[in-house]
Each structure stands twice: as structure tokens, then as C-alpha cells.
Amino acid sequence: MAIIPVELAGRSYEVRVASGLLADIAGQCALLLRKKRVPIVTDSNVAEHWRATVEKSLIAAGHEPRVLVLDPGEGTKSWHVLERVMDWLLAEEVERGDHILALGGGVIGDLTGFAAAILKRGCGFIQLPTSLLAQVDSSVGGKTAINTGAGKNLVGAFHQPALVLADLDTLDTLPAREMRAGYAEVIKYGILGDREFFDWCMREGPEVVTGGISAQEFAVTQSVKAKARIVAEDERETSGARALLNLGHTFGHALEAQTGFSDRLLHGEGVALGMVLAARYSARKGYITEADAALVTAAIASAGLPTEIASLGLNCDGQTLAGHMLHDKKMDAGTLPFVLLRAIGEAFLDKQVSLEDVAAFLGE
């Protein structure tokens, strides 16, 4: 088992990466589960495959698991589902010192984490990420949120989990397309800060997405280490280090917005194409070579992820895509910082990018 500490000023916690963690959940969480009742929030897809495993371990240890099963999908990160979760937690008499288990992908982790942040002004929670994206990204770092009519993740809080258990076995039941989408966030760590890891991804990326367990273990462990390092440096996204994690996301969000945040383009797919665009735009500005931009494109294509806007059939021009960026929540006093590349493995925040130039680039 790999144990990665997330070291924060206030309090630190562990991310454990291994097979079999959910089957031993009672043992893994023994120090944190002080009551018989254990509240668990999950979605129906995850419950179908993993609820019984978690319940079995808890019941064998004398616990009484209480499970709230929500609908799968981004729509669950909403005000009305949050209200349902809060009412349920209150009815279950969850107290501040208790820990709520968030069993699922980023949707369940973000929603349950936010519920934990505001229940009685903050109670404990444990992340049990079951998607690749959640294991390498959303379960670590303490960002929690819901969506509103005005946009994604606009209402939320920083609230760190007490523990993260990334059980590699859960990836066996994850749909292939979700696996590829999660992989975009894996290769992101290589592109933004670790050339050696990028080179590993070039060789082993296809193995990660097709289910090679040792490749998956290395990918998850390295990704969590990278995220933990950045979060420790900049817990609340104030110094700029954490902003580098947005590589590919500004372009990606514009594409997601154009598809109406529908299943036509998953978040990770948008990020994948967004990283290709960030690399090409970096080349256009003369920061990296065209050959390096082509290498990024090839690495992303080899995992079966999109690399061309045309392939999405969006039927819109560069101006329209750049227009979506005006609503980006990173907009700061009229400028939008872009994460660009100085080299593969060396991202930086460029605050001088003109949206008109980006629109022209996207229209080419």
C-alpha cells in the first residue's frame, strides 16, 4: 500500500492507495468511526458494485451502515439534492465529531464534502473515491462544491477530509470512457510539472486506461503525490501554485460550456483537448516548440482522448468559445489568467493573455 501524507498547516491527513481498501473499510477507518451508526452517501451506479463490500466490512466490525443512494450524474451537485443530504444527515443525528463516508466519484465527493463542511458548521468526512478522476484529483485537496444555475462549482467551501482511501479495485467497474476521462487529469501532472512522469505516461498511458493494475497503481500514486505537494504549498489557492492545476481547464470549460455541460463531452475529455490547445497556444506564443506541442497531442491521442475541436462537431467559431471564458470563475478584475507551458513539465501562469488573441487562435 502507498501512503501519501497531505501536509497542511492546520491538520494533515493520509491518502492510502491500494487494492482491497473497501473490503477492509472498518479496519482502515477504525480510529475515525466512533459510533455504531456510519452514514454513507453514494450514487446508484457505485452502490450497485460497491455498497455490499463496504456494508459487509462495517457490519462484521459491529457497525450499522446507513446508506443514502443518490442519482448518478452532475445534476446531483445541486441545491435541492444538498438539502436532501442535509436533512438526511440531521435525521441520522450526525454530530460534529462523526465522519460521513463519501463513496463515489467526484460528484459524490464534492457534494458530501460540502454537506460535511456546513453540517453544524463542519463535521468530519472520509473520501472513498471510486473513479480515476476522483482518486487522482477531486478527493484530495479539500475543495467541495455544488453547481447552481449560474455555473459549476460556484457555491462551495474548503473542507479537508480526515482520510482518503483510493481502492484500485473500484476501477474494475468504472466505464471505459470515464477511465479515459480521469486519465486526462493524470497526464496533466506530467505536463504541468514532471517531464519524467510525462515520459512514463507516453509509454504506459494506454496500459492505465485498459486496466493494468500496476500501471494504475503507479499513475494514482504519482498523481496524488503531485496534488498533495501543490495543495500543501497553496491550500486555498492564494499563492498561484494551485492555479497550475487548471492547466487545460480554461479551454476545456469553454468547450464544456458550448456542449451545455452534457454527456457529449466529459470534463476530462474537455481538459484533454484543453491541454492540447494550451500546448499549441504556448507554441504559437513561442514558449515551447511545435514539436513539443505535437508530443503533448500524441500522448493524449494515444489514450483515446480528443485532440481536435473539429472532432466535437460543435459548429461554433473562436469568438463564441472565447465568449464562454468571460464567465470563467477565474476571471479576476477583467483579466483571465491562463496556464501555459514553458516546457513539457513546466507550466506557468500567464496573466497577460488577450481573449481576442485566444479567439483568433481558436478560430484557426
Query: Which residues are annotated as part of the binding site for NAD(+)?
Result: 106-110, 130-131, 143, 152, 170-173
- Euclidean distance between CA atoms 180 and 239, whole angstroms: 31
Count the Cβ atoms, other than its own, within 10 Å of residue 103. 30
**Residue 131 engages ligand NAD in binding (rule: CB under 6 A):** yes
The amino acid sitting at 181 is A
Query: Closest distance between ligand NAD and the C-beta of residue 113, in Å?
Result: 7
Residue closer to ligand NAD (CB basis): 146 or 202: 146
Q: Is residue 167 a contact residue for ligand NAD (CB under 6 A)?
A: no
Applying the rule CB under 6 A, the residues between 33 and 72 that interact with ligand NAD are: 43, 45-46, 49, 72
SS3 121: helix
The contacts of residue 265 (CB under 8 Å, 6+ apart) are 255, 256, 259, 306, 312
Element (H, E) at 12: none
> Is 147 among the residues known to form the active site?
no
Return the residue of 40, 41, 107, 305 that touches ligand NAD, per CB under 6 A: 107
Question: CA 182 to CA 177: how far, in whole Å?
Answer: 9
Q: Binding to ligand NAD by residue 127, rule CB under 6 A?
A: no
Closest distance of CB 363 from ligand NAD, Å = 28
Distance (Å, whole) CA 167 – CA 213? 11
- In DSSP notation, 179-207 reads HHHHHHHHHHHHHHH-HHHHHHHHHHHHH
Can you read off the three cell numbers belonging to residue 263?
454527456
Instruction: Single out the segment in contact with ligand NAD by CB under 6 A; choices: 84-92, 166-174, 214-222, 326-334.
Output: 166-174
Q: Is residue 223 within the footprint of ligand NAD (CB under 6 A)?
A: no
Active site residues per annotation: 121, 143, 185, 227, 237, 242, 246, 249, 253, 267
Contact footprint for ligand NAD (CB under 6 A): 43, 45-46, 49, 72-74, 77, 104-108, 110, 130-131, 133-134, 137-138, 141, 143, 152-153, 170, 173-174, 178, 267
